[in-house]
Amino acid sequence: MITEKKSTVTYVKWDRGANREFSEEVTVLRMDNGSITYAMGITEEGYLLHCYYGPAIGSDDISYLMRLADYPYTPNGNNRDRLLFLGDRPFEFPCHGIGDYREPCLMVLDEDGMSACDLRFVSYRKMKGKPELKQKGVSCIPATYAKPDEAETLVVTLEDSHCDIAVELTYTMFTKLNVVTRSARVVNRGYHDIRIQRLLSGCVEWDHSNFDMITLNGAWARERAVERCRLHSGKQSVESTRGISSHQHNPFAALVSRDASEEVGEAYGFNLVYSGNFLAETEVSTNGFTRFVMGINPYDFSWLLRPEEDLTAPELVMVYSGAGIGGMSRTFHDLYRAHLIRGQWKEKMRPVLINNWEGTYFNFDEEKIYNIAKAASEQGIEMLVLDDGWFGKRNYDDCSLGDWVVNEEKLKGGLKPLVDRINALGMKFGLWFEPEMVSPDSDLYRAHPEWAIQIIGRDMTQAREQYVLDYSNPEVREFIYSEIRAILDSANVEYIKWDMNRALSEVGSTSLPRKRQRELWHRYVLGVYELMNRLTTDYPHLLLENCSSGGARFDAGMLYFSPQIWTSDDTDAIERLKIQYGTSICYPASTMGAHVSDCPNHAIGRTTPFATRGDVALMGTFGYELDVTRISEEDRKAIPGQIAKFKKFNPIIRTGDMYRLGNLFEDESFDAWMFVAKDRSEAFFTFVQVLNHPSMPARRILLRGLDPDRSYRNEDTGEIRLGVTWMRGGVIVGAFGDFVSKTMHFTAV
From CA 3, how far away is CA 564, in angstroms rounded? 38
Task: Name the residue among 481, 480, 487 with its Cα closest to residue 535.
Answer: 481
From CA 294, how far away is CA 252, in angstroms rounded? 9
Which residues fall within 8 angstroms of residue 56, CB to CB, at 6 or more apart?
Answer: 32, 33, 34, 35, 36, 37
403 annotated active-site: no
Task: Name the residue among 293, 310, 246 with its Cα closest to residue 274.
Answer: 246
- β partners of residue 437: 468
Catalytic residue (choose from 88, 100, 403, 569): 569
Strand 48-55 and strand 211-217: pairing? unpaired
Contact 369, 338 (CB under 8 A): no
From CA 74, how far away is CA 91, in angstroms rounded? 14
Which residues fall within 8 angstroms of residue 748, CB to CB, at 6 or more apart?
Answer: 680, 681, 682, 707, 710, 711, 712
441 annotated active-site: no
Neighbours of 644 (CB within 10 A): 11
Which residues fall within 8 angstroms of residue 208, CB to CB, at 6 or more apart?
Answer: 288, 289, 290
Contact 677, 723 (CB under 8 A): no
From CA 129, how far away is CA 488, in angstroms rounded? 36
Q: Is 264 exposed, middle or buried (0-12, 13-18, 19+ CB in 10 A)?
A: middle
Diameter over CA atoms, the chain: 84
Instruction: Please provide residue 243's backbone torsions phi and psi, each rounded to the nearest 5 degrees.
Output: 90, -10
Strands (E), 517-586: 543-546, 564-566
Rounded to 5°, the CA angle 441-444-449 comes to 80
Contact 260, 587 (CB under 8 A): no
From CA 479, how far away is CA 404, in angstroms rounded? 10
Catalytic residue (choose from 110, 334, 499, 555): 499
Task: Name the residue among 328, 213, 250 with its Cα closest to residue 658.
Answer: 328
From CA 511, how far away is CA 532, in angstroms rounded? 21
* Residues catalogued as catalytic: 499, 569
